[in-house]
Structure 1
Amino acid sequence: MLAVFKNLKGDKAIWGVVALLALFSFLPVYSASTNLVYVNDDGTTIGHLVKHAVLLFLGFGIIYAIHRIPTHYFKGLSIIALPIVLILLAYTLTVETKIGGVTANRWIKLPFVGVNFQTSTLASVVLMIWIARYLTKIKDVAITFKESILPLWLPTVLVVLLILPENFSTAAIICFLVLVLCFLGGYPLKYLFAIVGTGIVLSGMFLFVLFKTPEVLPQRAGTWKSRIETFWSPEKAGKDDLHQLTLAKIAIAEGGVVGKGAGKSVMKNMLSQSTSDFIFAIIIEEYGLLGGGALLFFYLLLLFRIVVVANSAKTIFSKLLVIGVGLPIVFQAFINMAVVVQLFPVTGQPLPLISMGGTSIWMTCMAIGIILSASNKKENLEEESYDINESNPLEVLSGQL
């Protein structure tokens, strides 16, 4: 065990923040899991706690393994992973799975281990690495929009379109983060403005169709419409639509400044998804405004360290890679918190490293591992001297793998 700790590389502050978040997660998960046990008749509280511990243990195994990989290897790995991800996303749309009372085509069951895997979370990480690689390749080249369609926008559109029918919020978040990464990566602003303008027009057309003829859209269009109506016009929303948000606000109000204490939440037994989407409400009820503020502070600290690592990275690829895989973690946390306090429509995004759920934990850990790899000063020096012609993917693979 001591040998493992001695081999930990990269930013120690990130290691510390991630470890603290993971350790803290046991308290709200154990408390909120009573909802699964007594309301949904699903296992035992100890069983859910052990499952969460195993998922976190495997997650830290992923961090350890990934952070030992030299950063420039991810360029070649993204070339291999992206086609696989597209195939998995297409296959996922054909598989209907029921988890936590929700039936959707979002998960596939991993063979031999029987674990449900949400392919969209893997796709978002791989796509960000792919885009960081492409932006690095064109950093000193004047390109036209036409030249970037196949290597940049086609993979992005394919990933988004394959996720959109069953997970609108994740698709929208990916679109936003891709644009942010392209902006930071120096992609021509005139093209970005054109894409944003086109996106606004298409979004308006989509909303018009959603509210006028939702039956022509995917099956989950009714859920999207309900969530938007609940957010913009709560007085017009149905009783069931407001139920979750009302319970979340009651939990926050009950928590006050210092909270009721660990395990003393009342709303956890009435608030569905209390172990995932609405776990922040349970945290505030039990630990109050101080607990919620402390949790927000640690996510902000993680964001600060991500920016520091990106700024200190020696190559353009490392800088964009850290921002590309790190920003979504903190952004997802902010969205989860904003939903609970009704500053954002319900999205179904879990709280990273806190909420129950294997895929979310594992993919967050994968992203953390990549960030730690980039923060390794020794690897940075090796990467700085690493020079390879990326114009031919075969040369990339042969040089990196």
Structure 2
Amino acid sequence: MKQLLNNLKGDKVIWTFVALLALFSFMPVFSASSNLAYMGHGTGNTLGYLLKHLAHICIGFAIIYWVHKVPYHYFRAISKVALPVVWILLAYTLIKGTVIAGANASRWIQVPFIGITFQTSTLAFIVLMIFVARYLSKKRETPVTFQNSLWELWAPVFITLMFILPANFSTAALMFAMVVMLTFIGKYPLKYIGFIIGMGVAALMLFILMSKAFPDAKFFNRVHTWESRLENFTTDKPDEDDYQIEKAKIAIASGGIQGLGPGKSVQKNFLPQSSSDFIYAIIVEEYGLIGGITVLALYMLLFFRFIVAAHKANSLFGKLVVVGVGFPIVFQALINMAVAVELLPVTGQTLPLISSGGSSIWMTCIALGIIIGVTKKEEEVAAEKEEKEQREETLRRMIDAQIKREEEAEAALLAGETPESYSIEDKTNPMNAVLGKT
């Protein structure tokens, strides 16, 4: 174990917070999976779901370990090559993707020979943010023109969002917001950002108008769901999403200060997405306000460490990568919690590292591995600097000692004495090795 911990490089605080969130996730997932265990005349045994979640977490930490070993600057070139591959996967998902839990959205693809489903938009999120960070770091030294950036930066961004938007509006909106945030931090001209936001809103309006013109087209079948969720959020009209929100609020109200206790949730048997989208409500019901605030605090502390890591990064690309792939993790967690307390409409965003689900956990772990890889490079640079300073200090002391001995020898010669203990040509003198004497 000690050897394993020694092999974990990078920011140890980030490692700690990630481990705490992952360890805490087992009890809520084990408890909240009961409705899935009973679904389809099941036995109600949630042990299988717990073991499945354990496998996802273990694979996730293996991913973090492997990714953090890769020099983070490799991802500059990888993002440029991976983006077209992501477009192909997104297009395939949109046309022939798998539908899960009766949803009317194709967001997953079946991985051949493995039998697991994979949500391609989560991979696209990471690749796109690294691609944007690459562009901003490359163009920092040269003036940015709107026309050039429109083709080199925003065209790939809008192509990616175009493939995600029809099936997953919340992810597309979050991705667009994070890209805009990253360009702002990367000092992309503010007036151009205003134009891009206007173009994004116009494109969304055009998409909605096309859905009205072709209401039977499969490509636009999610627009009705968006409208329904927005209407449910602003009115008291009963609906399935409204049912979930009501059960989530009942769960939160039942938790009180200390909660009902681990595994004693009642609303987990009524919430359809109790182990994923609405797991925060189950956490508050079982662990109370104390548990809910603790989870929120862990995410905010992780957010603070991301800021520290970005500040310490030794390159502009490293700083932007930490912001680009790190901040969305925390914002996604905040959105999930806001939905549970009805501050936002239902979005379908999971709670990173806590909600059940393989692809979401693994993609979060890839992002964390990249961030830790950036902090690992910082440590390596600091260690090299310290080693260089130690070598220079040692050489300085040896030179000072050499000069002092030569001065003593010269003083002895002037006094007519023969210094028996020292000779400038003494081959045992350690400075001879430094100065190249033989």
Q: Distance in 1 between matches of 2:95 and 2:200?
A: 28
Q: Distance in 1 between matches of 2:84 and 2:374?
A: 24
- Find the partner of 1:229 among 231, 256, 261: 231
Partner letter of residue 232 of structure 2? T
Q: Distance in 2 between matches of 1:280 and 1:329?
A: 15
| Cα displacement (A) at 1:151 | 1.7
Structure 1's unaligned 5+ residue stretches are 385-401
Moved more, 238-247 or 161-170: 238-247
User: What does the per-residue CA deviation read over 1:2-30, in whole Å, with 9 as the maximum and x for residues that have no partner?
Assistant: 43221101111100000000000000000
Aligned to 1:265: 265
| Cα displacement (A) at 1:82 | 1.1
Q: Distance in 2 between matches of 1:279 and 1:108?
A: 24
| Cα displacement (A) at 1:143 | 1.6
User: Is this contact kept in 2: 1:97–1:103, CA < 8 A?
Assistant: no
User: Is this contact kept in 2: 1:303–1:330, CA < 8 A?
Assistant: yes
Moved more, 304-313 or 373-382: 373-382
Moved more, 213-222 or 169-178: 213-222
Partner letter of residue 35 of structure 1? N
| Cα displacement (A) at 1:278 | 0.3
Q: Over alpha carbons, which structure has the higher Rg?
A: 2
| Cα displacement (A) at 1:150 | 2.1
Q: Distance in 1 between matches of 2:132 and 2:198?
A: 21
Aligned pairs for 1:8-87 (under 5 A) are 8-41=8-41, 44-87=45-88
User: What does the per-residue CA deviation read over 1:161-192, in whole Å, with 9 as the maximum and x for residues that have no partner?
Assistant: 00111111101111110000000011111100
C-alpha distance 42-162 of structure 1, shift in aligned 2 (>3 A): farther
Q: Distance in 1 between matches of 2:97 and 2:58?
A: 28
| Cα displacement (A) at 1:207 | 5.9
Q: How many residues align?
A: 382
Aligned to 2:415: none
Aligned pairs for 1:151-162 (under 5 A) are 151-162=152-163
Q: Distance in 2 between matches of 1:136 and 1:379?
A: 21
Aligned to 2:176: 175
C-alpha distance 96-315 of structure 1, shift in aligned 2 (>3 A): closer
C-alpha distance 92-239 of structure 1, shift in aligned 2 (>3 A): closer
Partner letter of residue 348 of structure 1? G
- Find the partner of 1:220 among 219, 222, 241: 222
> Percent identity over the alignment?
53
Structure 2's unaligned 5+ residue stretches are 386-438
Moved more, 105-114 or 251-260: 105-114
Aligned to 1:340: 340
Q: TM-score if structure 1 supplies the norm length?
A: 0.91
| Cα displacement (A) at 1:103 | 4.7
User: Is this contact kept in 2: 1:92–1:107, CA < 8 A?
Assistant: yes
Q: Distance in 1 between matches of 2:181 and 2:76?
A: 20
Query: Quick check: 1:144 aligned with 2:142?
Result: no
C-alpha distance 211-335 of structure 1, shift in aligned 2 (>3 A): farther
| Cα displacement (A) at 1:205 | 5.7
| Cα displacement (A) at 1:219 | 1.1
Aligned to 1:361: 361
| Cα displacement (A) at 1:77 | 1.2
**Secondary structure of the corresponding residue to residue 104 of structure 1:** coil
**Secondary structure of the corresponding residue to residue 265 of structure 2:** coil
C-alpha distance 136-285 of structure 1, shift in aligned 2 (>3 A): same
| Cα displacement (A) at 1:96 | 3.7
Q: Distance in 2 between matches of 1:317 and 1:368?
A: 16
Q: Distance in 1 between matches of 2:23 and 2:40?
A: 26
User: Is this contact kept in 2: 1:322–1:371, CA < 8 A?
Assistant: yes
**Secondary structure of the corresponding residue to residue 99 of structure 2:** strand
Q: Distance in 1 between matches of 2:302 and 2:63?
A: 18
User: What does the per-residue CA deviation read over 1:320-355, in whole Å, with 9 as the maximum and x for residues that have no partner?
Assistant: 000000001000000000000011111000000000
**Secondary structure of the corresponding residue to residue 94 of structure 1:** helix
| Cα displacement (A) at 1:38 | 1.4
Q: Distance in 2 between matches of 1:211 and 1:229?
A: 17
C-alpha distance 250-308 of structure 1, shift in aligned 2 (>3 A): same
Aligned to 2:109: 108
Q: Distance in 2 between matches of 1:310 and 1:380?
A: 15
Aligned to 2:238: 238
Q: Distance in 1 between matches of 2:234 and 2:355?
A: 27
| Cα displacement (A) at 1:140 | 1.5
Q: Distance in 2 between matches of 1:380 and 1:92?
A: 42
User: Is this contact kept in 1: 2:32–2:275, CA < 8 A?
Assistant: yes
Moved more, 6-15 or 87-96: 87-96
- RMSD of aligned residue pairs (Cα, Å): 2.1
Aligned to 2:277: 277
Aligned to 1:7: 7
C-alpha distance 76-24 of structure 1, shift in aligned 2 (>3 A): same
Aligned to 2:299: 299
User: Is this contact kept in 2: 1:129–1:324, CA < 8 A?
Assistant: yes
Moved more, 292-301 or 111-120: 111-120
Partner letter of residue 332 of structure 1? Q
Q: Distance in 1 between matches of 2:17 and 2:293?
A: 15
Q: Distance in 1 between matches of 2:353 and 2:281?
A: 16
Q: Distance in 1 between matches of 2:40 and 2:384?
A: 51
* Relative contact order, higher structure (CA 8 A, sep 6+): 1
User: What does the per-residue CA deviation read over 1:212-266, in whole Å, with 9 as the maximum and x for residues that have no partner?
Assistant: 9855661112211111101122x2x234341111101100110111110000000
Q: Distance in 1 between matches of 2:241 and 2:71?
A: 48
C-alpha distance 214-296 of structure 1, shift in aligned 2 (>3 A): farther
Aligned to 2:412: none
Partner letter of residue 92 of structure 1? T
User: Is this contact kept in 1: 2:135–2:153, CA < 8 A?
Assistant: yes
User: What does the per-residue CA deviation read over 1:305-326, in whole Å, with 9 as the maximum and x for residues that have no partner?
Assistant: 0000000111000000000000
C-alpha distance 41-358 of structure 1, shift in aligned 2 (>3 A): farther
Q: Distance in 1 between matches of 2:204 and 2:19?
A: 39
Moved more, 202-211 or 370-379: 202-211
C-alpha distance 316-47 of structure 1, shift in aligned 2 (>3 A): same
Q: TM-score if structure 2 supplies the norm length?
A: 0.83
Q: Distance in 1 between matches of 2:223 and 2:215?
A: 6
